[in-house]
């Protein structure tokens, strides 16, 4: 009987494998790979493993105890199934709160009715999911409807309106939400304007708690869907719709069978991103502390570790693990959809005239009204921030008492505030430098080097999108206390690293897109003429993507400046080395002098920076796109 | 200048095998073309020579030096890419000087060499231009100058003329050949355009699905195809299957399928003759046919279904027993669609090709 011989790789096979690796991995690429991998493993993967380790250890041994405790505690997970005597013999208990609360309050002139939008409270874990789901659904509806209107119809002012609708992309931590809070309370601008002054609302409306979080997040995040859906719809080959019309489809049937399915992949990718952003948002719940808005995962983890004594409870790490698991699942879904998305482009390349129609006057008016109302709501945070930044004092009136530049002087006069701003600038610029070096290397590797497993590197460097900042902060604390990187001694190193790792994907994406547009033959012809890889990289590859690098790093810089989660956690460990966002938090919530006005001025500065950087990077990339055509 | 030897080259991309054992000898100073349909592996082979792809098996030699695993940047080959691959961020001068700077040639010598090579390609005074200020033909010349200026051991050309319009293509073709002969540089040329390959090459290799079907001079390839694929891919022709009945004085008597009778033919490849009883492909070039009976051999009565006037000749498409004939005759010949004519072909132009 023959015994099948196991296939052992022969010496020749091994030699060939080694030769193939050596062929593709010259010393320059090898160094790039090692450096990028080291940074990401040390400051992203190891901290996550450290949290995992902590969450599964109870009393010194391996245990699921923390997870059991979290899931059996009604505070974290309140719905309970109970059996009853009467039909249907089963019921769910433990859900508190209600959708709305009606309050009647006596005033000088009579009684006013305030409708409070509250929302149900199901416990921390279901709340987190529920808030993310509602935010995603509402932003998708608003974003998609607007995208469809602006992609398909032309009416006077539609271009300008389309750009203004993207304004909420300029977000300022805390202050935006505070601006909105100021606008939406029963004494806020909206109620004052529409109820007290104009009298066109029969009652006052005030969102509160979790519903307020959903509202704020929706208004901040809908532009992401809007952008994605708009791009998807205008890149549908018009002949596809024309073919369907030619075959007799029209109106809603055409939309449902052709337009919607073709634009869906883009919308889905955007919606999943919004879901992750909602999950990891810490700034908004902090603003609404004191209500059930506290009962979301980010805030709970934050509260449990905001005492940097060095001790982080297993409970907090278990919560962090749950949050991490949620966002990673969504991240994997995004990666699936983003690759699926390519089918939208399968038809043909090139630029075509999108199908647009003129709107009748009546419908135009309707669009104006809806768009202006949404804009009015969406711009509340920004209007609020601007008004507050220039306000001297602001009681329960429509506008501030008087306007002043005093708040901006304070930014320079108050040593602690000024130091936090220079700290933020230093960290963000340093991080930007690191991001450029690492990000360009990573983008080059993923785009150019053919070795097995290089896709894993791509996944690794985009992973930070999916890791909530509060989780990274937790991991850093667990890992680096009592090391030379201890945030209590000096927060700077860890903040720079955190900014670098977290805001890395923006640059990598931009630079990767650049490399993909550059014909590989441009580099091969240099190699052919005798240049080694390093020389090709610096003389050919880099100069050709320099605008992408600039655009990408501008985005990374500005998102570092406005980073919240790790900024306030690590910042609180050592106030002297804390960044701007921590100082804003500090002034707002510790009842210090300056109240709302100084943080608003800081927010205004951030907003201005964001505006410049986003417009600048868009201009750069657009110019590049045309500059390369025809060569 | 070198001679190039490739021995049994195999290249796989995942599960797809692009090259299935390519062996070829290219002589010193020769203009050698790889011709084949897209996807046949000709560009892959060129990239293996340049060092952009690592071969999975086999050896490549420049003269006696084994360069199989030598990195691309150490091979000293000059390659011209299909889309020229000029660097848009550099001037013409910087593009051409790049390879010299890499070689640490002194500044004055670079200036001198760039001037010389620009003169060679008729682009004097264009140093300061950037690539997008040049026409397609000029870009092509810069790419050629950039490859030549480093004095490469081999010149590699990857469909360099395919982006030019028809008139310019003819001019550049002549120009390329002139330069190559003037410099005496061993040149490998890759194209899918058979007319281009025939007119420019000293020798050529016809490739299909990762193997070389035939190597030879253009005349040999056209007049003596060794393989049904080569006969079909190069030029036009009438193809009829048949079986060898007997052999006499180097002539074969072949019984044609489709009831078209017997023909006398010669083996297309005298070194590899079909045996008696073997199934062969009979190939006849359009211009080999004659009208009117001169012999009792190799006669066909065909009915004409299409006639096109090509100026110097008439091309006739005709049919007999389901076999299609392509016949080219004098333009003065009187033929009409729907009519039957009798055509014949001399045995020396009736090629019997062994199947696969």
From the list A24, A532, A540, which residue is nearest B73 (CB)?
A532
- Evaluate whether residue A4 is within a structural domain: no
H or E element that contains B34: strand B31-35
From the list B78, B83, B143, which residue is nearest A519 (CB)?
B83
**Checking DSSP bridges between strand B154-158 and strand B299-309, what pairing results, if any?**
unpaired
Q: Rounded to 5 degrees, what angle do the CA atoms B343, B348, B352 make?
A: 90
The minimum CA-CA distance between B188 and chain A, rounded to whole Å, is 15
Secondary structure class of B188 (helix, strand, coil): strand
User: What pLDDT was estimated at residue A339?
Assistant: 52
Residue A237 sits in the same domain as residue A354: yes
A135, A116 in Cβ contact below 8 A?
no
H or E element that contains B22: strand B16-26
A618, A558 in Cβ contact below 8 A?
no
Distance separating alpha carbons of residues A382 and A375, to the nearest angstrom: 11
Residue A136 sits in the same domain as residue A234: yes
**Chain A residues with CB inside 8 Å of B83's CB?**
519, 521
In the predicted structure, residue A2 carries a pLDDT above the cut 60: no
Instruction: Give the domain range for residue A135.
Output: 100-109+116-374
Residue A350 sits in the same domain as residue A481: no
Cβ–Cβ below 8 Å for A528 and B73: yes
Cα A413 → chain centroid: 33
Distance separating alpha carbons of residues B291 and B300, to the nearest angstrom: 10
Cβ–Cβ below 8 Å for B54 and A19: yes
Stronger pLDDT, B147 or A398, i.e. the higher one: B147
H or E element that contains A226: helix A209-234
Residue A347 sits in the same domain as residue A421: no
Exposed / middle / buried, residue A167 (Cβ in 10 Å: 0-12, 13-18, 19+) = middle
Helices A380-389 & A175-184 angle (0-180, nearest 10): 100
Cβ–Cβ below 8 Å for A539 and B98: yes
User: What pLDDT was estimated at residue A630?
Assistant: 22
In the predicted structure, residue A1 carries a pLDDT above the cut 70: no
Report the residue of chain B nearest A520, measured CA to CA: B85
The minimum CA-CA distance between A187 and chain B, rounded to whole Å, is 60
Question: Which residues have a Cβ under 8 Å from the Cβ of A42 and sit 6 or more positions away?
Answer: none
* Residue range A601-623, pLDDT digits in tens: 888 888 888 888 877 777 776 64
Q: Which of A530, A539, A544 to mutate to test the interface with B (most CBs of B within 10 A)?
A: A530
**Chain B residues with CB inside 8 Å of A543's CB?**
89
The minimum CA-CA distance between A308 and chain B, rounded to whole Å, is 52
For the CA atoms of B316, B320, B323, B327, what is the dihedral angle to 10 degrees?
A: -20
The minimum CA-CA distance between B279 and chain A, rounded to whole Å, is 42
* Residue range A248-296, pLDDT digits in tens: 776 677 777 777 777 777 788 788 888 988 998 988 888 888 778 888 9
Q: Rounded to 5 degrees, what angle do the CA atoms A333, A337, A338 make?
A: 115
What is the average pLDDT score of chain A?
81
B142, B127 in Cβ contact below 8 A?
no
Per DSSP, A466 falls in state G
Secondary structure class of A414 (helix, strand, coil): coil
- Evaluate whether residue A160 is within a structural domain: yes
User: What pLDDT was estimated at residue A243?
Assistant: 77
- Evaluate whether residue A87 is within a structural domain: no
**Checking DSSP bridges between strand B31-35 and strand B186-191, what pairing results, if any?**
parallel
Question: Which residues have a Cβ under 8 Å from the Cβ of A101 and sit 6 or more positions away?
Answer: A115, A116, A118
pLDDT bucket at A5, cuts 50 / 70 / 90: low
CA-CA distances (angstroms) from residue A366 to A163, A361, A379, B309?
A: 19, 9, 20, 67
The minimum CA-CA distance between A525 and chain B, rounded to whole Å, is 7
Mean pLDDT within A165-175 = 71
From the list B69, B73, B131, which residue is nearest A530 (CB)?
B73
pLDDT bucket at B250, cuts 50 / 70 / 90: confident
Question: Which residues have a Cβ under 8 Å from the Cβ of A518 and sit 6 or more positions away?
Answer: A541, A544, A545
Distance separating alpha carbons of residues B95 and B86, to the nearest angstrom: 7
Share of chain B above pLDDT 90, in %: 71
Q: Which of B51, B77, B85, B190 to mutate to test the interface with A (most CBs of A within 10 A)?
A: B85
Mean pLDDT within B104-119 = 95
Distance separating alpha carbons of residues B246 and A121, to the nearest angstrom: 97
* Residue range B175-216, pLDDT digits in tens: 899 999 999 999 999 999 999 999 999 999 999 999 999 999
* Least confidently predicted of A147-151, B21-25, B321-325: A147-151
The minimum CA-CA distance between A553 and chain B, rounded to whole Å, is 21
From the list B54, B77, B102, which residue is nearest A20 (CB)?
B54
Q: Rounded to 5 degrees, what angle do the CA atoms A269, A270, A271 make?
A: 95
B233, B206 in Cβ contact below 8 A?
yes
Report the residue of chain A nearest B149, measured CA to CA: A529
Cβ–Cβ below 8 Å for B103 and A530: yes
Q: Which of A477, A506, A502, A495 has the alpha carbon at shortest distance from A425?
A: A495
- Return the half-sphere exposure (C-beta side, CA atoms, 13 A cut-off) of residue A13: 4
Helices A565-573 & A492-517 angle (0-180, nearest 10): 150
Distance separating alpha carbons of residues A510 and A507, to the nearest angstrom: 5
Q: Which of B103, B105, B107, B85 has the alpha carbon at shortest distance from B95?
A: B85
B188, B152 in Cβ contact below 8 A?
no
Cβ–Cβ below 8 Å for B85 and A524: yes
Report the residue of chain A nearest B69, measured CA to CA: A23
Q: Which of A449, A524, A528, A625 to mutate to test the interface with B (most CBs of B within 10 A)?
A: A528
Report the residue of chain A nearest B135, measured CA to CA: A631
From the list B56, B82, B98, which residue is nearest A526 (CB)?
B98
pLDDT bucket at A307, cuts 50 / 70 / 90: low
Mean pLDDT within A510-525 = 87
Residue A334 sits in the same domain as residue A471: no
**Chain B residues with CB inside 8 Å of A16's CB?**
56
Distance separating alpha carbons of residues B345 and B290, to the nearest angstrom: 6
Number of domains in chain A: 2
The neighbouring-strand residues paired with A152 are none
Domain boundary among A374, A402, A428: A374
* Residue range B316-355, pLDDT digits in tens: 999 999 899 999 998 888 888 988 999 999 998 999 999 8
Domain boundary among A374, A399, A425: A374
* Residue range A381-420, pLDDT digits in tens: 788 888 888 887 776 666 777 788 888 888 888 888 999 9
CA-CA distances (angstroms) from residue B178 to B152, B191, B316?
A: 17, 18, 37
User: What pLDDT was estimated at residue B155?
Assistant: 95
- Evaluate whether residue A349 is within a structural domain: yes
Compute the Cα dihedral for A405, A407, A410, A412 and give only its sign.
negative
Neighbours of A30 (CB within 10 A): 15
Distance separating alpha carbons of residues B67 and B7, to the nearest angstrom: 12
Cβ–Cβ below 8 Å for A529 and B83: no
Report the residue of chain B nearest A16, measured CA to CA: B56
The minimum CA-CA distance between A355 and chain B, rounded to whole Å, is 33
Residue A144 sits in the same domain as residue A274: yes
Residue A317: CATH number of its domain: 1.10.3720.10
- Evaluate whether residue A165 is within a structural domain: yes
Residue A46 sits in the same domain as residue A121: no
Residues in chain B: 356
DSSP string, A45-91: IHHHHHHHHHHTEETTEE-SHHHHHHHH-TTT---EEEE-SSTTSEE
**Chain B residues with CB inside 8 Å of A527's CB?**
51-52, 72-73
Domain boundary among A346, A374, A402: A374
Question: Which residues have a Cβ under 8 Å from the Cβ of A309 and sit 6 or more positions away?
Answer: none
Residue A133 sits in the same domain as residue A194: yes
Stronger pLDDT, A365 or B112, i.e. the higher one: B112
pLDDT bucket at B294, cuts 50 / 70 / 90: low
**Chain A residues with CB inside 8 Å of B75's CB?**
528
For the CA atoms of A286, A288, A292, A295, what is the dihedral angle to 10 degrees?
A: -20
The minimum CA-CA distance between B15 and chain A, rounded to whole Å, is 15
The neighbouring-strand residues paired with B326 are B317
Q: Which of A302, A296, A291, A265 has the alpha carbon at shortest distance from A278?
A: A296
From the list A525, A530, A628, which residue is nearest B81 (CB)?
A525
Report the residue of chain A nearest B70, measured CA to CA: A23
**Checking DSSP bridges between strand B31-35 and strand A402-403, what pairing results, if any?**
unpaired
Cβ–Cβ below 8 Å for A524 and B52: yes
In the predicted structure, residue A352 carries a pLDDT above the cut 80: no
For the CA atoms of A519, A520, A521, A524, what is the dihedral angle to 10 degrees?
A: 150
Cβ–Cβ below 8 Å for A528 and B74: no
- Evaluate whether residue A11 is within a structural domain: no
In the predicted structure, residue A182 carries a pLDDT above the cut 80: no
- Evaluate whether residue A420 is within a structural domain: yes
B314, B307 in Cβ contact below 8 A?
yes
Q: Rounded to 5 degrees, what angle do the CA atoms B228, B231, B234 make?
A: 140
Residue A366 sits in the same domain as residue A442: no
User: What pLDDT was estimated at residue A337?
Assistant: 64
Distance separating alpha carbons of residues B54 and A23, to the nearest angstrom: 7
0.95 surpassed by pTM = no
Cβ–Cβ below 8 Å for B69 and A535: no
Secondary structure class of A307 (helix, strand, coil): coil
Residue A363 sits in the same domain as residue A421: no
Residue A129 sits in the same domain as residue A220: yes
Tell me the count of A-B CB pairs closer than 8 A.
79
Question: Which residues have a Cβ under 8 Å from the Cβ of B96 and sit 6 or more positions away?
Answer: B114, B117, B118, B142, B145, B146, B149
Residue B205 phi, psi dihedral angles, 5° rounding: -120, 130
Exposed / middle / buried, residue A346 (Cβ in 10 Å: 0-12, 13-18, 19+) = exposed
CA-CA distances (angstroms) from residue A456 to A36, A52, A53, A575?
A: 12, 21, 23, 38
Report the first-to-last Cα separation within chain B, whole angstroms: 36
Distance separating alpha carbons of residues A82 and B238, to the nearest angstrom: 87
* Least confidently predicted of A44-53, A304-313, A602-611: A304-313
* Residue range A440-459, pLDDT digits in tens: 999 999 888 877 778 888 88
Cβ–Cβ below 8 Å for B150 and A531: no
From the list A529, A543, A631, which residue is nearest B131 (CB)?
A631
Neighbours of A182 (CB within 10 A): 22
Mean pLDDT within A530-558 = 89
Residue A315 sits in the same domain as residue A265: yes
The minimum CA-CA distance between B88 and chain A, rounded to whole Å, is 6
Residue A467 phi, psi dihedral angles, 5° rounding: -95, 115
pLDDT bucket at A6, cuts 50 / 70 / 90: low
- Evaluate whether residue A13 is within a structural domain: no
H or E element that contains A242: helix A238-246
Interface TM-score (ipTM) > 0.90: no
The minimum CA-CA distance between A631 and chain B, rounded to whole Å, is 5
Distance separating alpha carbons of residues A265 and A346, to the nearest angstrom: 13
């Amino acid at each position: 009987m023959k015994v099948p011989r196991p296939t052992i790789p022969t010496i020749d096979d091994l030699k060939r494998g080694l030769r193939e690796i050596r062929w593709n991995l010259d010393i320059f690429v090898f160094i790039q790979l090692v450096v990028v991998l080291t940074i990401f493993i040390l400051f992203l993967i190891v901290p996550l493993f450290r949290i995992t380790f902590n969450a599964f250890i109870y009393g010194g041994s391996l245990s699921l105890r923390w997870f059991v405790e979290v899931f059996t505690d009604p505070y974290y997970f309140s719905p309970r199934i109970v059996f009853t005597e009467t039909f249907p013999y089963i019921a769910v208990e433990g859900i508190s709160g209600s959708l709305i609360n009606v309050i009647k309050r006596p005033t000088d002139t009579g009684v006013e009715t305030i409708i409070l939008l509250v929302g149900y409270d199901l416990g921390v874990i279901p709340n987190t999911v529920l808030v993310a789901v509602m935010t995603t659904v509402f932003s998708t509806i608003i974003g998609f409807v607007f995208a469809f209107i602006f992609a398909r119809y032309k009416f006077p002012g539609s271009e300008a309106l389309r750009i203004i609708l993207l304004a909420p992309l300029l977000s300022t931590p805390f202050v935006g939400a505070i601006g909105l809070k100021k606008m939406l309370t029963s004494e806020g601008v909206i109620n004052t304007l529409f109820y007290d002054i104009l009298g066109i609302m029969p009652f006052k409306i005030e969102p509160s708690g979790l519903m307020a979080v959903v509202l704020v997040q929706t208004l901040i995040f809908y532009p992401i869907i809007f952008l994605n859906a708009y791009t998807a719809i205008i890149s549908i080959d018009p002949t596809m719709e024309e073919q369907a019309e030619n075959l007799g489809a029209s109106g809603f049937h055409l939309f449902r069978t052709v337009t919607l399915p073709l634009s869906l992949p883009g919308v889905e990718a955007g919606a999943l991103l919004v879901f992750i952003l909602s999950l990891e948002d810490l700034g908004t719940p902090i603003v609404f502390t004191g209500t059930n808005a506290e009962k979301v995962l980010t805030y709970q983890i934050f509260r449990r570790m905001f005492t940097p004594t060095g001790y982080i409870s297993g409970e907090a790490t278990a919560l962090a693990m749950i949050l991490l698991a949620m966002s990673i699942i969504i991240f994997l879904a995004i990666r699936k959809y983003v690759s699926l998305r390519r089918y939208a482009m399968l038809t043909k390349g090139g630029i075509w005239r999108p199908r647009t129609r003129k709107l009748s006057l009546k419908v135009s008016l309707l669009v104006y009204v809806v768009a202006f109302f949404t804009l009015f709501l969406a711009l509340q945070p920004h209007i609020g921030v601007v008004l507050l930044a220039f306000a001297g004092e602001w009681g329960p009136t429509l506008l501030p008492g008087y306007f002043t530049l005093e708040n901006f002087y304070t930014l320079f006069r108050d040593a602690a505030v000024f130091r936090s701003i220079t700290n933020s600038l230093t960290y963000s610029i340093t991080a930007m430098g690191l991001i450029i070096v690492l990000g360009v290397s990573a983008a080059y590797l993923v785009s150019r080097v053919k070795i097995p497993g290089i896709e894993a590197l791509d996944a690794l460097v985009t992973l930070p999108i999916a890791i909530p900042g509060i989780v990274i902060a937790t991991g850093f604390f667990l890992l680096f206390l009592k090391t030379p990187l201890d945030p209590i001694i000096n927060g700077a190193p860890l903040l720079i690293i955190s900014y670098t790792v977290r805001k890395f994907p923006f640059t990598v994406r931009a630079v990767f897109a650049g490399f993909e547009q550059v014909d590989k033959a441009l580099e091969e012809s240099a190699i052919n003429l005798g240049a080694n890889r390093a020389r090709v990289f610096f003389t050919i590859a880099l100069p050709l993507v320099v605008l992408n690098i600039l655009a990408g790093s501008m985005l990374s810089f500005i998102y570092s400046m406005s980073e919240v989660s790790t900024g306030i956690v690590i910042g609180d460990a050592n106030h002297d080395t804390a960044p701007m966002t921590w100082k804003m938090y500090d002034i707002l919530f510790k009842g210090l002098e300056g109240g709302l006005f100084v943080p608003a001025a800081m927010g205004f500065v951030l907003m201005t920076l964001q505006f410049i950087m986003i417009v600048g990077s868009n201009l750069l990339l657009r110019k590049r796109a045309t500059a390369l055509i025809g060569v | 200048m070198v001679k190039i030897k490739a021995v049994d080259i195999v290249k796989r991309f995942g599960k797809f095998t692009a090259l299935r054992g390519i062996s070829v000898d290219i002589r010193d100073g020769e203009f050698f073309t790889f011709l084949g349909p897209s996807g046949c592996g000709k560009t892959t082979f060129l990239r293996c020579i340049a060092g952009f792809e690592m071969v999975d098996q086999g050896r490549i030699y420049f003269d006696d030096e084994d360069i199989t695993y030598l990195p691309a940047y150490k091979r000293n080959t000059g390659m011209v890419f299909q889309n020229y691959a000029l660097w848009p961020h550099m001037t013409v001068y910087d593009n051409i000087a790049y390879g010299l700077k890499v070689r640490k040639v002194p500044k004055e010598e670079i200036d001198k060499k760039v001037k010389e090579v620009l003169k060679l390609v008729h682009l004097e005074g264009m140093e300061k231009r950037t690539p997008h200020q040049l026409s397609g033909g000029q870009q092509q010349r810069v790419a050629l100058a950039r490859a030549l200026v480093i004095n490469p051991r081999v010149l590699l050309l990857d469909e360099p003329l395919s982006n030019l319009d028809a008139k310019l293509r003819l001019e550049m073709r002549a120009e390329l050949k002139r330069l190559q002969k003037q410099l005496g540089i061993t040149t490998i040329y890759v194209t899918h355009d058979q007319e281009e390959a025939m007119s420019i090459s000293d020798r050529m290799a016809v490739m299909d699905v990762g193997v070389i079907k035939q190597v030879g001079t253009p005349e040999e390839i056209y007049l003596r195809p060794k393989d049904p694929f080569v006969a079909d891919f190069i030029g036009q022709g009438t193809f009829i299957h048949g079986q060898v009945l007997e052999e006499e004085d180097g002539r074969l008597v072949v019984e044609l399928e489709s009831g078209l009778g017997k023909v006398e033919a010669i083996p297309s490849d005298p070194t590899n003759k079909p045996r008696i009883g073997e199934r062969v492909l009979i190939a006849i070039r359009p211009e080999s046919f004659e009208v009117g009976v001169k012999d009792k051999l190799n006669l066909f009565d065909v009915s004409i279904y299409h006639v096109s006037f090509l100026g110097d000749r008439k091309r006739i498409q005709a049919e007999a027993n389901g076999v299609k004939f392509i016949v080219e005759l004098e333009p003065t010949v009187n033929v009409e669609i729907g009519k039957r004519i009798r055509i014949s072909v001399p045995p020396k132009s009736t090629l019997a090709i062994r199947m696969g």
